[in-house]
Amino acid sequence: MNILAFNRYPQYLRQLRWNIHSKGLFLSKRIETSGAVYCYGVPIIERHPGSKIVINSKVSLCSDSRHTALGVSKPVILRTLRQNASIIIGAESGLSGTTICASKSVRIGQRCLVGADVIISDTDFHPLMPEGRRYRSETEAAAEPIEIGDDVFVGARVIILKGVSIGNGSVIGAGSVVTKNIPAGVICAGNPAKVIRHLVE
């Protein structure tokens, strides 16, 4: 279908088409879902054989700029890279133009808000030593699980790197690069991200 013609459809018809397409995508990729998943635009999902992607009830995946205030530069991308890797997204969480790549594990808690164009990756993708880096397998790169607690708010264009744990209820300021663990109930920001203050003094 011509994209301009599709854009002239009423919102409820676009929504219906997205949901039908996404359900087919979840089935074809063997994505585990529990309850309704709301898709605004169509996400990109790639599941490595022997890995799993779990999307829990009432999760929203926004891949269309008309449905989020800041807009998004790309669709939601969920991608497992190795056997036994996992991506788990907790109930009632919302992701906008978010990229998640998992070589081991990325787990997002319940009721999390993940802002526009956030990148979450548990791997370096390439070995750090320069010899043959361009041609060596991704499986040789360092990888450590990422754990994001419940009720976390991740601002737009944040990057969360391997091995990070973020505690329940914390806020990550827009544009931050998270390289180390963040405790529960704090606001942090910067590159590298640091705690600015506690939410409740």
pLDDT higher than threshold 70 for residue 118: yes
DSSP result, 31-77: -EE-S-EEEES--EEE--TT-EEEE-TTEEEE-SGGGSTT--SS--E
State the average pLDDT over residues 2-10. Answer: 53
Strand order in the sheet with 177-178: 44-46, 77-80, 99-102, 119-121, 159-160, 177-178
Output the pLDDT for position 130: 75
Q: Kindly list the domain boundaries of the chain, sorted by start residue.
A: 3-198
Output the pLDDT for position 9: 58
135-180, pLDDT tens digit by residue? 666 667 889 999 999 999 999 999 999 999 999 999 999 999 999 9
pTM: 0.87
Share of the chain above pLDDT 90, in %: 64
- CA 83, 85, 90, 94 dihedral sign is negative
Backbone φ and ψ for 28, nearest 5 degrees, come out as -65, -30
Give how far Cα 16 sits from Cα of 12, 13, 40, Å: 6, 5, 10
* 3-198: CATH class: mainly beta
State the average pLDDT over residues 21-46. Answer: 85
